[in-house]
Amino acid sequence: MTTVQKWTGRETRALRQALRMSIRDFSAHLGVAERTVSKWEAAMDAACPRPEMQAALDTALGTAAEDVRSRFTSTQRDQAGRVAPEVASDLAAAARRRLADGRNAAGLSPEAFARLLGTVLGWSPTAERVVNWETTETPPGDVLLALDVLVGPTADNLAGLIAVYPSRSQLTAHLPADRLLGRVLSIMGAR
């Protein structure tokens, strides 16, 4: 689970943005005034929220959906661009979970899965090593890549994505509303 040692305005803003909430919605979600959230975010690196609010932020993060925690985690880097230690441990947990989920999806025992991994890796892990990767050790990158080859990559939510536009105006310039909604209108008989 993603944790924050000490909430600052930076983490508070990251959580609000990961939840995709406005300051108004986020403050209502936490049960505080909008001005309070604005004040926290303005302080950025200063530890602003009081202890009871730190607990409320912990709860908001802990009860958030996996995609929200993932968005939050992706923003938690130090000044040098390194992932913060508490986030890195979450990444290790995610790698362990990914390996266990892949083996379970394939319906294989640790022994059979180790043999299957060996066919792709060029070296042979043991069943004990597979169990350790699923429970306590971080699996090596080549094992995770082999997993993608064997059971497929994680859900590709962007498979149909063909373009990204930084603003709504650029989107509408490339894809006018009549073209975007034309088929819908013709189906509805409005065209």
CATH of domain 87-151: 1.10.260
Contacts of 110 (CB under 8 A, 6+ apart): 103, 127, 128, 130, 131, 134
| Mean pLDDT, residues 159-173 | 65
**Would you list the domain boundaries of the chain?**
9-74, 87-151, 162-191
Q: What confidence category does residue 183 fall into, taking pLDDT thresholds of 50, 70 and 90?
A: low
Span 63-103, pLDDT tens digits: 888 888 878 877 765 544 555 554 445 667 778 888 888 88
d(CA 85, CA 144): 21
Quick one: which of 69, 18, 4, 51 has its CA closest to 26? 18
Quick one: which of 11, 55, 14, 10 has its CA closest to 32? 55
Quick one: which of 7, 52, 2 has its CA closest to 32? 52
Quick one: which of 13, 127, 111 has its CA closest to 61? 13
Asked if 84 and 61 count as a contact pair (C-beta separation under 8 A), the reply is: no
Span 10-48, pLDDT tens digits: 888 889 998 999 999 999 998 888 898 888 888 766 667
Quick one: which of 52, 67, 152, 70 has its CA closest to 105? 152
d(CA 4, CA 47): 12
Nearest-10 crossing angle of helices 34-43, 23-30 = 110
